[in-house]
Amino acid sequence: MEGYAWTMVRELVLVGGGHSHVQVLKSLAAEPIPGFRVTVVVDTPIAVYSGMVPGFVAGQYEMHDLQIDVQALADRAGARTVVALATSIDSARRHVVLADEAPLPFDVASVNIGSTVAGLDLPGIRQFALPTRPIGDLVHHIDTLITGLREETERDAFRIVVVGGGAGGVEMAFTLQERISNEFDGALTVQLVHSGVRLMQGYPPGLARRIHRHAERRGIQIEAERRVVGADEGAVRFETGDPIAFDALIWVVGAASHAFFRDSDLPTDARGFVRTRSSLQIQSDDALFAAGDCATLDEFPDTPKAGVYAVRQGPVLTRNLRAVAAGTDLESYRPQSDFLTLLNLGDGTALGAKWRRTFEGRWVMWLKDRIDRNFMRRFQDSGT
């Protein structure tokens, strides 16, 4: 058509506001992808940074310190935000399926929706336990729990059982103990139970030894090889041994896949996480990407479901989305073989592990606070 400048606009849909997508949005605000209209689908416009949640539990941070306003980031990136639960991808029809809304067509899409907690289908767990996912809900429940306890003058004892022997479980046990003992005058019992033979499997054994030493000093009871089979009101039951009574049951047993991929026509691993190539493209489809907890890299299937990997994937995902748009070569992501683990003990100190060495102290907490705040500053400052 003479005199008519015609350009085809293509649709890029980002599903989820996880650690990788917030970096994509930050980059798009500085430099848009020519010819692409960008839409972000989030179930909630505010994302919560899990690394600072234990610090929030301990009373070291305010709620706003851990929050990333994904919608504001999208606005700055010139992207449209759709607040809706994405339920699946129909790759054959090229659209993202949303709960209660029309499907969203895409030319290129990327999924960064994180994970949920395993074991929620055990009897009584959904009903009586407080799961760590969705993490935004956890933060509000902890706030309510602590406010409630502060106002309860009649109660003279409170029993917390934390289930899960990984980093999240350990941090929740220590930070809850610190916070509640500061807010509540009665007798506080904190028990950390887990199904493994030792805490923090996959980390240097020295880290578990340090945790046990601190737990003993602070009166936190730890029990290994206690596999939960269910919960009733006020008591958690195990495969072997007596039930344990609780006033609050915190559920931190590791990552499981969202139903999203089960309902999509995409390849998944045995645990239901979507399978990706090192380029972060989903195995079956060059125009579909996935990053963070929700994806399993075929080349590195044992990569832990941890935020540090989702963070490191962010820049690679950004460059590869640009490359697909431009029709240029994609780069490969290779997970680091080890990462710095920092566990907040809630009392101003933290434990750390890196390269099979372990360490602890106030300086470790100082380091953790600095790393976390620096990460958050990138997404909370109003400019690009």
Ligand X SMILES: Cc1cc2nc3c(=O)[nH]c(=O)nc-3n(C[C@H](O)[C@H](O)[C@H](O)COP(=O)(O)OP(=O)(O)OC[C@H]3O[C@@H](n4cnc5c(N)ncnc54)[C@H](O)[C@@H]3O)c2cc1C
Residue 169 engages ligand X in binding (rule: CB under 6 A): no
Distance in Å, CB of 112 to ligand X, minimum:
5
**Minimum separation from the CB atom of position 167 to ligand X (A):** 6
Cβ–Cβ under 8 Å, residues 244 and 234? no
Q: Quick count: other Cβ atoms within 10 Å of Cβ 9?
A: 8
Tell me if 221 contacts ligand X by CB under 6 A. no
32, 36, 37, 44: which one binds ligand X (CB under 6 A): 44
CB of 316 to ligand X, least distance (A): 13
Residue closer to ligand X, measured from CB, 226 or 258: 258
What's the half-sphere exposure (Cβ side, CA atoms, 13 Å) at 275? 13
Residue 165 in the binding site for ligand X (CB under 6 A): no
| Footprint on residues 287-306 left by ligand X (CB under 6 A) | 292-294, 305-306
Q: Is 369 in the site for ligand X (CB under 6 A)?
A: no
Segment contacting ligand X (CB under 6 A): 28-36, 108-116, 199-207, 221-229? 108-116
- Collapse the DSSP code of 274 into the 3-class scheme (helix H, G, I; strand E, B; otherwise coil) and give the result: strand
Rg of the chain over CA atoms, in angstroms? 22
Q: CA 318 → CA 33, 152, 254, distances in Å?
A: 10, 49, 28
DSSP secondary structure string for all residues of 98-133: ETTEEEEE-SEEEE----EETTTTSTTHHHH-EES-
C-alpha torsion angle, residues 247, 51, 58, 64 (rounded to 10): -100
- DSSP class of residue 226? -
Judged by beta carbon, residue 24 or residue 108, the one nearer ligand X is 24
Nearer to ligand X, 303 or 384 (CB): 303
Q: Which of 176, 310, 353, 376 binds ligand X (CB under 6 A)?
A: 310
Among 119, 307, 335, 352, binds ligand X (CB under 6 A): 307
Query: x/- contact string, 11-30, with ligand X (CB under 6 A)?
Result: ----xxxxxx----------
Tell which one of 29, 85, 325, 371 touches ligand X (CB under 6 A): 85
Q: Is 56 in the site for ligand X (CB under 6 A)?
A: no
> What number of chain residues touch ligand X (CB under 6 A)?
32
Nearer to ligand X, 46 or 235 (CB): 46
Helix intervals (H) in the chain: 19-30, 53-58, 70-76, 125-128, 135-151, 167-183, 205-218, 259-262, 307-326, 362-380
User: Could you tell me the smallest distance in angstroms from the CB atom of residue 220 to ligand X?
Assistant: 16
Q: Which residues pair with 275 in a beta bridge?
A: 296
Contact 238, 229 (CB under 8 A): yes
Interface residues with ligand X (CB under 6 A) are 15-20, 41-44, 47, 50-51, 53, 85-86, 112-114, 132, 135, 168, 258, 260, 292-294, 305-308, 310
